[in-house]
Amino acid sequence: MPMPELPEVETVRRGLVHFAEGFTISSAQDLHPRLLKPASVAPLAAVVGGKIKEVNRRGKFLWFTLDRDLALVAHLGMTGQFLFPQKERPMPGHVRAHFNLKKGLKSRELLFNDPRTFGWLSVEELTGGVPTSALHIAVDPFDRAFDRDAVIARMRSRKAAIKSVILNQEIMSGVGNIYADESLWRARIHPEISANELSVKKIGALVDAAKEVMAEAVEVGGTSFDAMYINVNGESGFFETSLAAYGQEGEPCPRCGRQIRRIAFGNRSSHFCPKCQVR
Ligand SMILES: [Zn+2]
């Protein structure tokens, strides 16, 4: 399974809104020595008694806004999942945190399961409604505060390859390797062109394509829940059906039929159409 990117994290957020908002955290158990990020200002138990007012997201950071000054922050890393276990189903094998939630007579369990342990939780203070971990992250294109013109100008001031610039979470957050390749393909931009050689119009088209492709993935992901658990992990099926460039090496470009090429990009890869995306 690919690493969760913004659309998957947004799908998780929507699932958590649906199943956890308005509930009070009646217990919180930390089950793994590396669950809590070192920057956590308090043990996990500090969230007990807190009512979940909202579940928010910036980039790939999620947080539960509680009726107190501290928020419960989560990052899914590579394999982190939030699960609401159903009765008589086996428990997943890598539960790192266990919560009981209550709302009136309703109660449910919430698990944080993470086989690879790159995900984490933390208890953090909020500044302007944003937890400390996410303060350095730029807003993503879905955020009300997103300033499209300012983002385009900042991208155009960079000499680096446009692919690195669109992945730079301090300029615009949310775009990972998969959606970078997809949005570059949609905007017909070669991944290795320097950002400062591209027009305002071209970078604008790229930013719009990134938002569009991620919105489509959220649409698809929003309807899929695992049968075993109420799995809000956002495994959307989008990856198998809708990718034009990412992971499609040797496959025909859906626009022109030329074979998609893969080139090295740091320790990862870039996928692009050599006919539609010329240097
Ligand atoms: Zn093409």
**CA 17/CA 51 separation, integer angstroms:** 13
State whether residue 105 is helix, strand or coil: coil
What's at 158, amino acid-wise? R
Rg (CA), the chain: 20
Q: What is the DSSP letter of 46?
A: G
pLDDT-based confidence at residue 240 (cuts at 50, 70, 90): low
Q: What is the pLDDT of residues 35-54, one digit of tens each?
A: 999 989 999 999 999 999 99
**How many Å lie between the centroid of ligand 1 and the Cα of residue 95?**
44
Amino acid sitting at position 19: F
Beta strands in 34-119 (DSSP E): 52-58, 61-66, 70-75, 81-85, 95-103, 106-113
**Residues, CB within 5 angstroms of ligand 1 (ion):** 253, 255-256, 258, 273, 275-276
pLDDT band at 241, cuts 50/70/90? Answer: low
Is 202 considered catalytic here?
no
Annotated active-site residue in 58, 60, 96, 154 = 60
Annotation says 268 is catalytic: yes
69-96: pLDDT as tens digits? 999 999 998 888 888 887 777 788 899 9
In this predicted structure, what is the pLDDT of residue 243? 87
pLDDT at position 225, please?
Answer: 41
Residue with tokens 């276990």: 85
Rounded to the nearest 10 degrees, what angle do helices 200-221 and 148-156 cross at?
Answer: 120
By DSSP bridging, strand 95-103 and strand 24-30 are antiparallel
When mean pLDDT is compared over 5-9, 18-22, 257-261, the highest value belongs to 257-261
Is residue 227's pLDDT more than 80? no
Residue pLDDT, tens place only, 9-38: 888 888 899 889 999 999 999 999 999 999
For residue 209, what pLDDT is reported? 97
CA 100 to chain centre: 25
For residues 23 and 102, is the Cβ–Cβ distance under 8 A? Answer: yes
Q: How far is the CA of 246 from the centre of ligand 1 (A)?
A: 13
- pTM for this prediction: 0.83
For residue 10, what pLDDT is reported? Answer: 87
Model confidence pLDDT, tens digit, residues 165-211: 999 999 999 898 889 999 999 999 999 999 999 999 999 999 999 99
Cα 188 to ligand 1 centroid, rounded to whole Å: 8
Alpha helices in 21-175 (DSSP H): 148-156, 162-167
Dihedral sign for Cα atoms in the order 252, 255, 260, 266: negative
Cα of 235 vs centre of ligand 1, distance in Å, is 28
The answer to whether residue 261 is catalytic is no
Q: How far is the CA of 265 from the centre of ligand 1 (A)?
A: 20
Backbone φ/ψ region at 19: left (φ over 0), alpha (ψ -120 to 50), beta: alpha
The pLDDT-based confidence of 5 (bands split at 50, 70, 90) is confident
Compute φ and ψ for 192, nearest 5 degrees: -95, 0
171-191: buried (b, 16+ CB within 10 Å) or exposed (e) per residue? bbbbbbbbbbbbbbbbbbbbb
Using the mean position of ligand 1's atoms as its centre, give its distance from the Cα of residue 263 in Å: 16
Q: 164 by DSSP, 3-state: which?
A: helix
Instruction: Please indicate whether residue 235 is annotated as part of the active site.
Output: no
Q: Does 223 or 54 have the greater pLDDT score? A: 54
Of 101-110, 214-223, 241-250, which gets the smallest average pLDDT?
Answer: 214-223
What local confidence, expressed as pLDDT, does residue 144 receive? 86
